[in-house]
Amino acid sequence: MRRTAGRITGRILPTLLAVTGLLLGPTATAGATADPAHPASPAAGTAALPEQWRSYWVDAFNEGIYTPEQADRLVADALAVNANALVVQTARRYDCFCNHALYPRTDAAVAPLPYDPLATIIDKAHAAGLQVHAWVNVNTMWNSATPPSSPDHVFNRHGPSAAGADRWLNKRSDGAELIGANAYVDPGHPAAADYIVRAVTSIVNHYDVDGINLDYVRYPDSNLATGRSDWGYNDVSVARFQAATGRTDIPRPDDPEWSDWRRDQVTGLVRRIYLALWEADPGLRLSMDAITYGHGPQAVGGWEATRTYAEVLQDWAGWLEQGIMDTALTMNYKREWNPDQALMFAEWSEFLADHQAGRQAVNGPALYLNSVADSVAQARRAVSPSAAGNTAAGWSGYSYANPAMETLGGGWEERSARRDALAEALTTGPDAPFAEPAAVPDMPWKTSPSDGHVSGRLLLRGGGVLDQAWVTLRPLGGGEPLAMPTDGNGWFGFVHVPAGRYLVTVELPSGVVGLPADVVEVTRGAIAEADFPAFVRVR
């Protein structure tokens, strides 16, 4: 019988605390100064601002971050719409729009060295009181017939030219690994997952970002049938599934056990990134771009019946519930002028407002699919209360480069003019949704934590790890235990558990011996490391 990792539910409901001191151009209080390290932190002498996330997604396939001059314009345009954050594409296809990360520097036509797109935007945005969140594509490896120039790029080292365990490519059930020129990483491959965590951490270790935004943290599209995922058939991933379940067959795409296992690989990766960021800086925000395909859960039979959960294996509602995701930026990309899609937008808006689970969900409309007037209407709905009286944490527009459907594919100046019109419509007039500045919502589970975390790694003497070994966390003061399997790198992590002493035990597989228990002390806001001596494989 399949076991699932324990969840901690009933999290602290966020009583969002007013944050002051966000400078938004001429609207800031005279004489106030923002904390340059934390642009959304309070500044002396300012009145409290209402809390509401407002951002543009700034993609790296278009103008906006390629030169210092574009960075200046980006910041000015964000201030014009009374935004308080920028979600800037940093790692696009395992190439980085930055100079100091594990990802190699992009081949895109950015200004030459020493220009550093991410560093430049951080400096300019923080000076203006804007937060910067580094947008990282997780499982999209490459998308061009021309390979990247860097020999260290993942596509060159672990793509079509690699063999055996060095091949990280996701594979479809029919054997396809490329869809056109698009190549994907399989999150069930331990080496690939480990690289992703190290690469994300390298960004926060070198840049003063306010958070990481994970995109494409899921399985690919281009399935052979609707309602299921045909991906995840990398040889290493299939072998791990077989080892975990004792099965010897190649599972069918619609096999429930196989779907659960693949979904758990993505969830485990998110959990590990969450704690890696916490270790680097507990104040960093982990956000992600959440799929909202089709009609909302209430129209299709519940969350697990959505295409999000069943087809791309992305359990973002569960991540909020588990507390391993701070903010879901929902890609609520619907055409307001199409009645059926307008209904979809309303359904997802209702769902995300009501299912934040003590974390935050931001409503992210597609500007490029709508006129300015329709985008303003969606912005109003995005931040309006649900029938139950709940409100989403804010708004994020996709995208900065394409602000309206009328100018999609047009010249940059034409699009810039339409963006100016959008900013005026969103901020001017009695019904303007963003007429006044707002602050990025606080994260009380991070700024005033009431609990802590436990993590560890199970190693084998002489090399290797214990993959998918079950670890149990038992509170010594009494209470319900939690259990989860290690990931493919032998890692485990229990998040947001009450402070206190815990017994951590390992269910050792046959042929492995060692001391399978440790006691840890969990304190508020800290990660307690379970320390196990290396285990020995005796056969």
Q: Which pLDDT tens digit goes with each residue over 131-141?
A: 999 999 999 99
Least confident span in 24-28, 348-352, 478-482: 24-28
**pTM, two decimal places:** 0.91
pLDDT band at 393 (very low <50, low <70, confident <90, very high): very high
470-475 and 512-513 strand pairing: unpaired
Residue 45 or 101, more confident: 101
For residue 48, the model assigns a pLDDT of 86
Question: Which DSSP category does 160 fall into?
Answer: T
Q: Which pLDDT tens digit goes with each residue over 335-381?
A: 999 999 999 999 999 999 999 999 999 999 999 999 999 999 999 99
Residue 441 has pLDDT above 90, yes or no: yes
pLDDT band at 409 (very low <50, low <70, confident <90, very high): confident
Q: Report the chain's terminal Cα–Cα distance, integer Å.
A: 26
- Note whether 56 and 400 are within 8 A (CB): yes
Amino acid 318 reads: G
Q: Is 211 helix (H, G, I), strand (E, B) or coil?
A: strand
Q: What torsion, rounded to 10 degrees, do the Cα atoms 351, 448, 471, 458 define?
A: 120
List, as one string, the DSSP characters of 91-147.
Answer: ESSS-BSSSSSSSPBP-S-PPPTT--HHHHHHHHHHHTT-EEEEEEESSEEEE-SSP
Residue 38 has pLDDT above 50, yes or no: no
